[in-house]
Structure 1
Amino acid sequence: MRLRPLVVLLALFATACGGSTDSGADTPSSASGDSAGVVTVDTRFGPVQVEGTPKRVVALGWSDAEAALALGVQPVGVSDWMAFGGKGVGPWAESLYTETPQILGTMELDYEAVAALQPDLILNTRSDNDQAKHDKLSQIAPTIGAPKDVVTYGTTWQQQIEMVGKALGKDAEAKKITEDLNAKFAANKKFDGKSAVVGSYFDGKFGAYVSGDARVDFLKAIGFTPKAEVESLATGTFFVDVSAEQLNLFDADFTVIFPIGADTAPIKQHPVLSGIPSAKDGRMLVMEDKTLVSAFSSGSTLGVAHALDKAVPQFQEILKVG
């Protein structure tokens, strides 16, 4: 399956991921330290050593900037994957910046611009897993790539915060963030036994996310079960195209769908999609709040926490779950 470039840019995440990962069920990437002030973070590209406490951090991976901000570190340069503008992070995280970072490229990266920021650490934990790109970045500064055995843009929020925390010398803070967010998921686990499908509409086409994507893993962590027929279409990626003839695949106990780069009218007015049982029965949520769509898709600890607060009440209202 060939992913369209903008779908890759705007589709978590994810979360998206190296297979399904429920909240609290991850085996985080391993890392170790020594008494000389050097930590070693294991990545898919091999072990990466980080000396001392990084002061100038460049965050290139999907939501890496938000992971650093959650740990109290302000990156000097960020890749704005979700086109937030401004400081390159979601509105739930902007206030954690006191100075505006330099916005860098995403798919097309300007290595000279990265080098000009004189980083002592580069974060690229949720990315395209490209070896050549990693090698170029590593010539500039120690670069923390994705953990082993994850698909493109597949690092989970648990793996990301653990790796970033280790690289920044903030293991305890990262562990506390993980524990708190796991507890928040547990408190919102209200949908056991219900099936779910999450999808998007882009450029006149529909697609669905599968386990390993941040949105699907979010739903799993609050009790939903991904629809088996959609899961069976996965081919080592987090997203599958759904043709007009397959739109019945979106039918489940609960359906979540949102537009990318468009309004919701084509979704709401689609003659086939509006006729599936979950749509006719009022069990389909078409997400219209762009901030909520971004938080739901972010795969960052800060964005996910925001989505739990704002999305779960909507899910409960639609499904009449207390």
Structure 2
Amino acid sequence: MSASRRELEGSATIDGEFDVIASPNDRIDRRTGKHGGAIAQEFPQVFEHRFGSTTLQTRPERVVTLTFSGQDHYLAVGVTPVGTRDWYGDFPFAAWPWAQDALGDGQPVLFKDISYEQIAALEPDVIEGLGSGMTEEQYAELSKIAPTIAAEAQYTDYSTPWAVRARTIGRIVGEADKADAIVSALEQRFADVAASHPDWAGMEAAVAFNVTEFGVYHSIDTRAQILGQLGFKTPAAIDAAGEPDAFWVPLSEEQMALLDTDLVVWIVGAGDPARIAGMPMRDHLEAARQGREVVADFPLSGAFSFATPLSLNYMLDRLVPLIEVAVDGDPATVVETSREAGLLD
């Protein structure tokens, strides 16, 4: 796993436009992850993935998710995993601000890395790793513990679109209809934002970072995919740099010109924005001189990078107004997060 997946990437309430919390009729024990309501779909369910095929004979009650940000997808449909990957952020039970209401009094066991012993101790009915970077060797070992579901073969590590993850996870826990309704509502919101900003269609955008190292995301990464839903596209030159199956490419400062696009979104995460402001070659970017940079601060970076039904409304509420200012064609208008990060000094 690359350093950026671990290290890239506040407190607030969710301002989203729809409620993704499960209805009271679902009666899910948030401490155990067990379901008490009626089954929403029939089992068995078959899942094809890069390492073969996995069949769930019955609706699982105890779920372990290895996906970075996977807990959000389960919480969105009213299920609390018994174990979840703790990516970063240091929030209790790995619940960021947008997920805390959905978690309620749930207390999933957290782990940073894939530990067979720790996972086995949770006695899971299913192990899901759609966005985990799971290897075939790990899959084989995990499958000895419980039925294990990896990413679909058509996707590289960490490139499974958020909507695919959400719908697949909904099907895993017998909540396919609920997941589909949530995804459809959120996709409509993306479409509405794009329709209200027709000038964004075809604009080039780069999503970059300089946390422990300097790099930019390829178009297969979920962050670039999300900007794509708003009309932006990743320049071909960025996709041509680095390994084609990688979700990001490391850059030297001499390659800074790759970021000279209509919009640059800087992912700060838990890093120091001074690392961005202090890059000498950045001063040569037309995007910097014209004020077309948006700094995604700690909570916004998290929402953007998590890319879940719970985080994306939070992200849209905050990112869209910043983009509007950045690409308004007037260098005199100030992107507030860029000013706060010292990029305008």
Q: Same fold (TM over 0.5)?
A: yes
Superposition deviation, residue 229 in structure 1: 1.5
Match of 2:169? 164
Q: Distance in 1 between matches of 2:110 and 2:134?
A: 21
The structure that has the greater radius of gyration is: 2
| Cα contact 1:198–1:216 (8 A) shared by 2 | yes
Q: Distance in 1 between matches of 2:322 and 2:248?
A: 24
Unaligned runs of 5+ in 1: 13-34
Alignment partner of 1:249 is 2:253: no
> What is the SS of the residue equivalent to 2:303?
helix
Alignment partner of 1:8 is 2:8: no
Alignment partner of 1:111 is 2:93: no
1:163-182 aligned at under 5 Å gives the runs 163-182=168-187
| Cα contact 2:44–2:57 (8 A) shared by 1 | yes
Match of 1:15? none
Code of the aligned partner of 2:147: P
1:127-142 aligned at under 5 Å gives the runs 127-142=132-147
Q: Distance in 2 between matches of 1:221 and 1:125?
A: 21
Q: Distance in 1 between matches of 2:51 and 2:4?
A: 25
| Cα contact 1:201–1:260 (8 A) shared by 2 | no
1:53-132 aligned at under 5 Å gives the runs 53-97=59-103, 98-106=105-113, 109-132=114-137
Q: Distance in 1 between matches of 2:226 and 2:262?
A: 16
Q: Distance in 1 between matches of 2:237 and 2:43?
A: 50
| Cα contact 1:67–1:301 (8 A) shared by 2 | yes
Code of the aligned partner of 1:305: N
Unaligned runs of 5+ in 2: 10-40, 330-345
> What is the SS of the residue equivalent to 1:40?
strand
Runs of 4+ in 1 over 6 A off after TM superposition: none
| Cα contact 1:67–1:300 (8 A) shared by 2 | yes
**Structure with larger RCO (C-alpha < 8 A, sep 6+):** 1
Q: Over the residues paired in the alignment, what is the CA RMSD in angstroms?
A: 1.9
Alignment partner of 1:295 is 2:295: no
Deviations along 1:38-91, one digit per CA (max 9) or x if unpaired, are 111111122211122211111111222111111110011111123443111322
Q: Distance in 1 between matches of 2:311 and 2:242?
A: 25
Superposition deviation, residue 8 in structure 1: 2.8
Aligned CA distance change for structure 1 residues 72 and 246 (closer, same or farther; 3 Å)? same
Match of 2:154? 149
Match of 1:196? 205
Match of 1:312? 320
Q: Distance in 1 between matches of 2:7 and 2:325?
A: 27
Aligned sequence identity (%): 30
1:258-269 aligned at under 5 Å gives the runs 258-269=267-278
